[in-house]
Amino acid sequence: GHLTPVKGLESPSTSATIPRHRIEIPSKDCRGRRAEMALPVGLNALDDATIILMAQHRPDLLDSLAIQHYLLSELPQVHRKAGQNIHNNEEVAVKLECFKTKHPQLHIEVRLYKIMNGGIGIPQVKWCGYEGEYNVMVMELLGPSLEDLFNFCQRRFSLKTVLLLADQMLSRIEYIHMHHYIHRDIKPDNFLMGLGKKGNLVYIIDFGLAKRFRDQNSHAHIPYRENKNLTGTARYASVNTHRGVEQSRRDDIESLGYVLMYFNRGTLPWQGLKAATKRQKYDKISEKKISTSVEELCNGFPGGDAFCEYLKYCRGMGFEEAPDYSHLRNLFRMLFQRQGYVYDYIFDWNLLNVILPDKATDGTADSAAASTGCATGTVKILPRTPTEEIVRIDLTGLIPSLSYPGIMIPPPSVRR
């Protein structure tokens, strides 16, 4: 989504503009206590909106990404801001949903986060309840989304970054499927990077559209149905979703393939189509997507053969078929190995520490940024952070050492 500045919102450090709203957060001994959360000005003036308060991202990216006070144009009433527990100064993400909303989803999200609790790359829910006219969920604060970072890197990721992301994103989807749910809205906005020591860990968020695909008691798969309305984001929806077929695991996997090619190409062939109505636009996207072969989509771009094979596999899956996650990960790991990359978990955005001064002080920004593919302009390049300072996450068990015929995937390291 295109980012549009929010007018009238001031810095969260300006305490006068941030009234305190009291939110009850149970203590560990379950007796309950009161904690004040700093929420943005104008909260009570918003109606029928889900407000996401997520900011204070990585210090070296926050100003450059300029996402402190922005709202997504596709969701004109979604704000991003941080909350803070004033008792322990812990920064958290607070999500509020108005009682009056026509299609409440927060209760679904809360239930799903609790089911997924403890998984790698699953945000921790710290409290949920209600406050005034809002349902409230307080959760772990995360960093920028992959869409934010994609824009920061001038809407193109290197093949190495795409492959590093693919490995983790596949694992997140597999974990959700292991718990008998499908996500149904796989897109860059719903994958966020962690903060601090988890800064190189990919998180998956937003379970508002998630659905159980297997019966809780009988474990029977949901039945095949047609004439279903499109659920999710049209740009990344699977071909079968466009055709009105009930979604299953194969659709999450196929959507991921389109996300990865979006990162690889910079744009998808069915973006930017014009139509009079949303329904007509969906139809145009569907027609273009169905008529675009995977070869046409992938060939000529970095790692095209592997991504082509991935999407062919996805489009050939049966409705109830379980994806072979290991096979799909292996496609990308073997490509990673052939390219001579190292599993150091240094992404494109890690290569530069940047600030945005009023005026560029020298010409080093443009030349250095051009060499990395990251954004240019009034960007001052700071000394590169040593690798051991960038990679702080405990990678143990994240990417295990796996052997395949003719390939050995090394365990994670901080080697460049």
Q: For the residues of 29-84, what is the DSSP string, one character each?
A: TSS-EEEEEE--TTGGG--S-EEEE-----HHHHHHHT-TTEEETTSTT-B---EE
**Is 185 an annotated catalytic residue?**
yes
Among residues 29, 63, 148, 185, the one annotated as catalytic is 185
Token pair of 381 as six digits: 């390049």
Grade residue 203 by pLDDT with cuts at 50, 70 and 90. very high
Question: Does the pLDDT at position 72 exceed 50?
Answer: no
What pLDDT is attached to residue 229?
92
C-alpha torsion angle, residues 137, 142, 146, 147 (rounded to 10): 60
What pLDDT is attached to residue 100?
83
C-alpha 91/C-alpha 82 separation (Å) is 7
Sole residue written with tokens 């997520």: 54
What pLDDT is attached to residue 139?
87
What pLDDT is attached to residue 84?
58
Superfamily of structural domain 146-338: Transferase(Phosphotransferase) domain 1 (1.10.510.10)
Alpha helices, H only, 117-201? 146-152, 159-178
> Would 3-140 and 146-338 be classified into the same CATH topology?
no
Question: Does the pLDDT at position 416 exceed 70?
Answer: no
Grade residue 128 by pLDDT with cuts at 50, 70 and 90. confident
Length of the chain, in residues: 416
C-alpha 18/C-alpha 38 separation (Å) is 6
What pLDDT is attached to residue 194?
94
DSSP 267: S
Burial status of residue 60 (CB atoms within 10 A of its CB: 0-12, 13-18, 19 or more): middle
What pLDDT is attached to residue 10?
30
Grade residue 96 by pLDDT with cuts at 50, 70 and 90. confident
Tens digit of each residue's pLDDT (9 = 90 or more) over 307-360: 999 999 999 999 999 999 999 999 999 999 999 999 999 999 988 654 333 333
What pLDDT is attached to residue 352?
63
Token pair of 386 as six digits: 């040593």
* First-to-last C-alpha distance (Å) of the chain: 33
Domain boundaries, the chain: 3-140, 146-338, 348-409
What pLDDT is attached to residue 398?
37
What pLDDT is attached to residue 289?
97
Question: Does the pLDDT at position 243 exceed 60?
Answer: yes
What's the mean pLDDT in 222-247?
96
What's the mean pLDDT in 263-288?
94
pTM above 0.85, yes or no: no
Question: Does the pLDDT at position 381 exceed 80?
Answer: no
CB within 8 Å of 361: residues ≥ 6 apart: 380
What pLDDT is attached to residue 83?
62
What pLDDT is attached to residue 399?
36
What pLDDT is attached to residue 281?
93
Angle at 244 between CA 292 and CA 103, to 5 degrees: 120
Question: Does the pLDDT at position 218 exceed 60?
Answer: yes
Cα dihedral sign for 129, 211, 312, 299?
Answer: negative
Task: Name which of 150, 53, 40, 131 is nearest 92 in CA terms.
Answer: 53
Superfamily of structural domain 3-140: Phosphorylase Kinase; domain 1 (3.30.200.20)
Tens digit of each residue's pLDDT (9 = 90 or more) over 281-313: 999 999 999 999 999 999 999 999 999 999 999
